[in-house]
Amino acid sequence: MRGNTLFQILLFILFAGLMMVGITKMADLYFKIEKPEITENNLDSAYNALLAYYAKNGEYPCPAPINASVDTKGFGVSAAACISPSAGIQIVKGAKSKDPIAVGALPTRTLGIPDGWGFDSYSKRLLYVVTAAYTDANDALENAGAIDLVDRNGNAVTNDEESIIFTLIGYGEENQGAYSFDGVLVEPCDPSSFFGENCDGDGVFTHSASAIDIGKEAYVSKIRYKVEDACKMQKNIPRKAGFLLDTSGSMRKSSHCPPEGPGKCTRMKLALWALHRTMAARMQQLGGSSDDDAFTGFSGFTGSSSTSGALAKMKSRNVEIKEEGDVAKQIYKSCPKGMTPLGVHIEAMAKMVTDGDKDRPNVITVISDGFSNRGTDPVTVAKRIKKDMPNLKVNIVDVHGTPSLKQVAKITGGEYFRTNKPDELLDALYVTMGVCPEKQFSAPKVKDETHCQK
């Protein structure tokens, strides 16, 4: 009996050990999948916050000290100026232009965002790098940004060298040059290594694709181009653009109110408010262009659950907008009702907009609040668009928070914005269309109307 009992105990210990090994491996796998997602979400949130700050102030903030202790006076607070180095802030120079670039931490408290957005999933501080000239609203800004982003072989990842205004960098598993949650240097920089490119004291930084190539989650970065180029160079405005508005019943749900619309507001009202201004501004900018091939289209859901049916209805309704005065007539017919056949309408709008050029892609901008629940899956549609129309980008403005929508933008090379706040929504639409923010562009005076007009 005693032998049997001892044997049973040994079996139990062995079984428990195997179970613990399995649980440990599963947990490790979970965190390897989950951690990159947390970092990317924080980078996206920080990126959008910087755009909103620029739209409001006409300049980007200086970095905060990278080594400031949490909950001290200087933590998360932008430096007063970006032209000379200070404690926790480094000033480097563009490789060719020699223009100053400020390097430090994300100024979460200056931006008015949660402090947690300033860290990656490994509790290391996000690195915020900004061309110093763009932190002063009084600067003439005649030149492009001073920052270079390169791949593992040193090739520029943008069309023009030194064209980046700012970049955000999450270190992930890499420790070189990274600062901990408490603002302590984790590991000294080795300038001779690949990862040393982001801490070697020059104006050149690595892009995320290089990190993926060598199996690291580090350096997931976002880039932002000089906003004024969209005003001064018509080639940066998409030649053909389509706006697709989610007109499903869930758009009746309450939302933040636009400045001009106090009282009870819905997601639909907010979307129409921002669309009206963006589309009117686009028509104004196209008015200064001699491009006869330009196209601007708008559509809500047509009620069809097939791409061919949605396309036929779009053509019969003549979704093209040719003059600024046509914007209100078209968009205020939108009324929230029914389901969300998002995928088929993205594909139908893609066939209306068609493929663009490599140097000047065409775009579709989608405003939506939910999952597609009828017709083809949007991710499947995005893969078809990527294959058949590689120079057509699908931008997503998500007013609720739907993971699959983010995939659509990523697959087609578009941008993803998650916001339901009026100023951020308007700025996101401006960015997707190459329309200048209001401080650089004479925004149109528009008269808002009650939606659901027949």
Fold of 230-433: Rossmann fold (3.40.50)
Q: How far apart are CA 286 and CA 293, in angstroms?
A: 11
The pLDDT of residue 91: 92
Distance separating alpha carbons of residues 128 and 83, to the nearest angstrom: 15
Supply the pLDDT for residue 9: 67
**Domains in the chain: boundaries:** 54-226, 230-433
CA 308 to chain CA centroid, Å, is 31
Query: What is the C-alpha to C-alpha distance for residues 372 and 151, in angstroms, rounded to an integer?
Result: 36
3-state secondary structure of 43: helix
Close Cβ partners of 19 (under 8 Å, ≥ 6 residues apart) = none
Q: Can you give the pLDDT at residue 225? A: 37
- pLDDT 10s per residue in the chain (454 long)? 545 576 666 666 766 666 665 555 444 544 444 456 777 788 888 888 888 887 777 789 999 999 999 989 889 999 988 888 888 999 998 877 788 999 999 999 999 999 999 998 889 999 999 988 888 766 545 445 788 877 777 777 665 555 688 888 888 778 888 999 999 999 998 888 877 888 888 888 876 433 333 343 333 343 433 434 434 434 457 889 999 998 888 888 888 877 665 567 888 888 888 888 888 888 877 764 546 688 899 988 888 889 999 899 988 888 888 887 788 888 888 888 878 888 999 999 999 999 998 888 999 999 988 766 777 889 999 999 999 999 999 999 888 877 778 889 999 998 888 887 887 788 788 878 877 554 444 445 555 555 564 4
Q: What are the backbone angles phi and psi of residue 218, rounded to the nearest 5°?
A: -70, 165
What's the gap between Cα 21 and its chain centre? 39
Strands (E), 146-209: 148-150, 164-170, 204-206
- Report the sign of the C-alpha dihedral through residues 174, 176, 178, 180, in that order: positive
What was the pLDDT predicted at 278? 86
User: For residue 149, what are its two tokens?
Assistant: 């982003």
For residue 97, count other CB atoms closer than 10 A to its CB. 19
**Distance (Å, rounded) from C-alpha 238 to C-alpha 236?**
6
CA 278 to chain centroid: 18
Q: Give pTM, 2 decimals.
A: 0.52
Quick one: 87 exposed, middle or buried, by C-beta within 10 A (0-12, 13-18, 19+)? exposed
What pLDDT sits at residue 191? 86
